């Protein structure tokens, strides 16, 4: 898939970064530092936000990635 749409690699990096944000939210909502609310990391609101944006990243990554020039010419013929 990455050979046909090399710009999907950028989307993969964004997904990894977004997963890092999720880990940061869990860490910051841990009872010890308690920087954000203890229940926020496991709340339905956070889960909806996380999964919605993850899905959006995937969809936009696919839509905005363009096939390589060679692939586009082969499918146009």
pLDDT in tens, 38-56: 888 889 999 999 999 999 9
> For residue 13, what are the CA distances in angstroms to 7, 36, 41, 77?
11, 26, 22, 33
Owner of token pair 């970064």: 17
**Whole-number Å distance between alpha carbons of 23 and 19:** 6
**Whole-number Å distance between alpha carbons of 15 and 60:** 11
pTM here is 0.74
Question: 12 pLDDT exceeds 80?
Answer: yes
Q: Which of 16-25, 33-42, 65-74 has the lowest mean pLDDT?
A: 65-74
Element of type H or E holding 38: none
Q: Which of 70, 64, 67 is nearest to 11 (CA)?
A: 64
């Amino acid at each position: 898939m990455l050979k046909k749409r090399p710009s999907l690699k950028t989307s993969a990096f964004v997904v990894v970064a977004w997963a890092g944000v999720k880990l940061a939210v869990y860490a910051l909502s841990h009872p010890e530092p308690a920087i954000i609310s203890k229940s926020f990391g496991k709340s339905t609101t956070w889960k909806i936000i996380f999964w919605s944006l993850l899905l959006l990243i995937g969809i936009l990554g696919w839509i905005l990635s363009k096939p390589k020039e060679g692939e586009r010419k082969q499918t146009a013929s």
